[in-house]
Amino acid sequence: MSKLQGCIKRENGVRSMTEAEAQACEAYAKDYLSYLGIAKTERRAYAEAVRRIEALGFKELSQVDTLKPGDKVYRGYHGKTLMAAVIGTEPVSGGINVIGGHTDAPRIDLKPVPVCEKGGFAYFDTHYYGGIKKFHWLIHPLALYGVVAKPDGTQVEIAIGDKPEDPVFQITDILPHFGAEQAGKKLAEAFDPEDMDLLIGSLPASKDDDDEDIKDKVKLNILRLLEREYGITEEDFLSAELEIVPAGMPRDLGLDRSMIVGYGHDDRVCAYAGLKALMDLPAVPRKTGMVLLCDKEEIGSVGATGMDSTFFENSVAELIARQEPAAGDLAVRRALERSRMLSADVCAASDPHFPNADSPNNMALMNAGGCLIKYTGARGKGGASDARAEFIADLRRIFAADGVTWQAGELGRCEKGGGGTIALYLARYGMDVVDFGVPLLNMHAPWEAASKFDCYMTYRAYRAFLAD
Ligand code: MN
Ligand code: MN
């Protein structure tokens, strides 16, 4: 009997790489580590992306009057959301190939009036951002990143906690000796986010530094220090975006160094893969290739810098205006409808310690390549953008032609939970959209884990898609 064709093999694919591919995979992982270590916030992810594409000759779109095939342009929004494109040989109005990821990650933000004193300690009062397990953030060394915008138009950039000489911060927890009451509570109720204050000091102001208006002397000392060392006042926090993230750099995971542990893989691992795929396109593509790095995905893609805004369609309109100046709004709508996107976002990898979360045969396996997720959503595909079969058939053709190792699955077991990505916000234009990204262990934890092979194969998939 002949061998059965078309059977699905779900297995560790690392050893199937040629020696040259294995070297390319390691080099890719190394450069990704360097990006991830810098990109600790969405603003830093944006700035580092712009630095890299400008070095390759990408021009800010507003500086460009006309577009021709092969031109490389980008458009940024509020220093957070980025569109980068390589213009194809066919007109933009015929549709674009898009890789869309996000660069915001779960974290803890400062409240607008954050500086406070309790029991002789100074703290920043906080409000968490995105879906976190709150206890993950207690006791670990934390860093502070962000910007303080002043009414005179100047900005102070803050980055404290990752240089060897920097101090770090901490959210404290109760010792196990007195933890019986906490241990008896449900996990969801044991950690009140209002108690998740960031410890920033314990020294009272000196006698010479006294200010009779401020009774809390440790707070006073911190305010003096902030003024002296950073030039910021308590009022300046009103117009600041300061984010608490894990202190420390991403690094190799495992004795065999096959994995990477880092903060913010979700979704900088896919954002970086998309950006790198666009930067590495070997020739001028037929269709214009675009990468979107979006903000605010973790809180529902809302707001001016999220994908629920008009940033994408405005960007497409800006491109068409420089290619077909006489074409109107209809050309933009047609371009949107004729476009297609890989929604570049991470998914949950099967963890043998939590089999009850797995969708058997349909859970992403680590080291089996990037994972295509046809639909996300929860409870009967609720809220999902469910991709059509014809689009996925075309992706099978593209990935096979390029020798990409990939897998398909869903986010997890039915009724166990669910999630969403930016997919539905782009699918509303009528374009083909499907999720494709890197499987992670401990997704949304301060330190997430990915396999180097999956990172590399996801990049390969994005590159093949953009080049098609
Ligand atoms: Mn994500
Ligand atoms: Mn997420």
Q: Domains in the chain: how many in total?
A: 2
Same domain? For 444 and 350 the reply is yes
Instruction: Please give the distance, rounded to the nearest whole angstrom, from the Cα atom of residue 439 to the centre of ligand 1.
Output: 11
Please check whether residue 132 lies inside any domain of the structure: yes
| Nearest to 380, CA basis, from 419, 414, 427 | 414
| Nearest to 405, CA basis, from 374, 352, 367, 445 | 367
Same domain? For 78 and 156 the reply is no
Same domain? For 10 and 100 the reply is yes
Instruction: Please give the distance, rounded to the nearest whole angstrom, from the Cα atom of residue 102 to the centre of ligand 1.
Output: 7
Nearest ligand for residue 445 CA: 2
Q: What is the pLDDT of residues 324-337, one digit of tens each?
A: 999 989 999 999 99
Q: What is the pLDDT of residues 371-390, one digit of tens each?
A: 999 988 888 888 888 999 99
| Nearest to 335, CA basis, from 278, 398, 287 | 287
Same domain? For 319 and 452 the reply is yes
Nearest ligand for residue 131 CA: 2
Our measurement of the distance from residue 47's CA atom to the centroid of its chain's CA atoms, rounded to an integer in Å, reads 14
Given a cut of 90, whether residue 279 has pLDDT beyond it is: yes
User: Which pair of tokens denotes residue 377?
Assistant: 């959503």
Instruction: Please give the distance, rounded to the nearest whole angstrom, from the Cα atom of residue 256 to the centre of ligand 1.
Output: 27
Same domain? For 229 and 94 the reply is no
Given a cut of 80, whether residue 1 has pLDDT beyond it is: no
| Residue carrying structure tokens 């102001």 | 205
Neighbours of ion ligand 1 (CB under 5 A): 266-267, 345
Instruction: Please give the distance, rounded to the nearest whole angstrom, from the Cα atom of residue 442 to the centre of ligand 1.
Output: 13
Q: State whether residue 98 is helix, strand or coil.
A: strand
Average pLDDT, the chain: 95
Q: State whether residue 226 is helix, strand or coil.
A: helix
Strand locations in 103-177 (E): 107-118, 121-129, 142-149, 155-160
Contacts of 57 (CB under 8 A, 6+ apart): 72
Same domain? For 86 and 126 the reply is no
Please check whether residue 294 lies inside any domain of the structure: yes
pLDDT of residue 102: 97
Question: Which of 246, 276, 306 is the C-terminal boundary of a domain?
Answer: 246
Instruction: Give the Cα separation of 168 and 138 in Å (integer).
Output: 13
CB contact at 8 A, 463 and 280 = yes
Same domain? For 73 and 119 the reply is no
Instruction: Give the Cα separation of 14 and 258 in Å (integer).
Output: 9
Instruction: Please give the distance, rounded to the nearest whole angstrom, from the Cα atom of residue 386 to the centre of ligand 1.
Output: 17
Same domain? For 219 and 229 the reply is yes
Please check whether residue 115 lies inside any domain of the structure: yes
Q: Which domain holds residue 356?
A: 2-105+263-467
Instruction: Give the Cα separation of 215 and 438 in Å (integer).
Output: 51
Please check whether residue 346 lies inside any domain of the structure: yes
Contacts of 194 (CB under 8 A, 6+ apart): none
User: Which pair of tokens denotes residue 51?
Assistant: 């630095």
CB contact at 8 A, 39 and 45 = yes
Instruction: Please give the distance, rounded to the nearest whole angstrom, from the Cα atom of residue 384 to the centre of ligand 1.
Output: 14
On the question of a cis peptide bond just before residue 454, with omega within 30 degrees of 0, the verdict is no
pLDDT of residue 411: 86
Nearest ligand for residue 421 CA: 1
Please check whether residue 253 lies inside any domain of the structure: no
pTM of structure? 0.96
Please check whether residue 432 lies inside any domain of the structure: yes
Same domain? For 154 and 279 the reply is no
pLDDT of residue 254: 98
Same domain? For 416 and 288 the reply is yes
Same domain? For 411 and 293 the reply is yes
User: Which pair of tokens denotes residue 314?
Assistant: 């405005």
Rounded to the nearest 5 percent, the helix, strand and coil shares of the chain are 35, 25, 40
Please check whether residue 13 lies inside any domain of the structure: yes
* CATH (domain of 306): 3.40.630.10
Please check whether residue 257 lies inside any domain of the structure: no
